[in-house]
Amino acid sequence: MTHDPSRRDFLRAAAGLTVVLAVRPAEATPATMQDAIRAVVGTAPVTKGRVKLELPPLSENGNAVPLTVSLESAMTAAEHVRAIHVFTEKNPQPEVVSFRLGPRAGRARVSTRIRLADTQTVIAIGELSDGSFWSAEAAVVVTLAACLEET
Amino acid sequence: MAETLISVPPRARRGESVEIKTLVSHAMETGYRRSQLGERIPRDIIRLFVCTYNGTEVFRAELHPAIAANPFITFSTVATESGTLAFHWTGDNGFSVRETAEIRVD
């Protein structure tokens, strides 16, 4: 089996899979997600903990999955959360969003709605004012993926 | 012009952390989808959301295509003084929408 993409695409289409799936762009992989994380944190170590990532374990529709990220922090000028970054493993692009906050936020808690192209792991990274990075991850099962429907 | 929906408590105590909810109508076209004719639909997303409080930036979010259509963002800010919260969304194809909300701090 060669890895000529056009041949593979043709075989996929012939096998009865949807054309949309066959022409889907290359998805991000855990490796590209790691690269994207490195681009944000640099060489600093990322430690698990301190971050609370809330996502539904099962989502019927990957087009709008509610996400909340929070960290316990005094949010003072001396000690606060500087940023919260979110990454995914298998979306076409690993970056999801970066929130920039500071002592004026009062509380390190943000929410939004994200797209998930597949069942996958989502990672949230908190960047503290002392330069340390903390993370949490959550696995989400997606029954109807985003990005695939035709218009 | 895009419609917005903003929730800011009209009154707050000084020093209190208030929750702000914002929503703006936008398709957030990812650039990864194709039309029925097989042509790639070009990317058209909001890239940046900034909130300023009496002119000082208190929050910003850098968005990517993985943010759902009609971006909904909830965050907090400390009620420091009475004044104006300004919200600014900018994105592809010159997208730019501004909205403001008043807050009274006792």
Which of A100, A104, A148 has the most B C-beta neighbours within 10 Å, making it the best mutation to test the interface with B?
A: A104
| Domain span at B75 | 4-105
Written as six digits, the tokens of A53 are 């990532």
A93 — pLDDT class (breaks 50, 70, 90) = very high
What number is the ipTM of this complex? Answer: 0.94
Q: How far is CA B21 from CA A33, A104, A144, in A?
A: 29, 16, 27
**pLDDT surpassing 90 at residue B5:** yes
Within 10 A of A59 (CB to CB), how many other CB atoms are there? 21
What is the per-residue pLDDT for A30? 82
Establish if A150 touches chain B: CB-CB under 8 angstroms.
Answer: yes
- Say whether B71 and A64 touch across the interface (CB within 8 A): no
Do residues B7 and B20 make contact, with C-beta atoms less than 8 angstroms apart? yes
In tens, the pLDDT along B21-59 reads: 999 999 999 999 988 898 999 999 999 999 999 999 999
- Say whether B76 and A107 touch across the interface (CB within 8 A): yes
- Contact partners, residue B68, CB within 8 Å, separation at least 6: A63, A64, A65, A112, A113, A114, A115, A146, B28
A31 — pLDDT class (breaks 50, 70, 90) = confident
Task: Please name the residue of chain B whose CA is at the shortest distance from the CA of residue A117.
Answer: B66
**Predicted structure pTM score:** 0.85
In tens, the pLDDT along A111-138 reads: 999 999 999 999 999 999 999 999 999 9
What is the per-residue pLDDT for A151? 44
Alpha carbon of A97: minimum distance to chain B alpha carbons (Å):
5
Q: Could you tell me the domains of chain A?
A: 27-144 (2.60.40.2470)
What is the per-residue pLDDT for A145? 78
**pLDDT surpassing 90 at residue B82:** yes
- Contact partners, residue A8, CB within 8 Å, separation at least 6: none
**pLDDT surpassing 50 at residue A23:** no
What ranges make up the beta strands (E) of A21-151? 46-48, 51-54, 58-61, 65-71, 81-88, 95-100, 108-114, 120-128, 133-144
The CATH number linked to B76 is 2.60.40.10
> Domains in chain B: how many in total?
1
DSSP A114-145: E--SSSEEEEEEEEETTS-EEEEEEEEEEEE-
- DSSP letter at A105 equals G
CA distance B75 to A110: 5
CB pairs under 8 A between A and B: 113
- Say whether A104 and B58 touch across the interface (CB within 8 A): yes
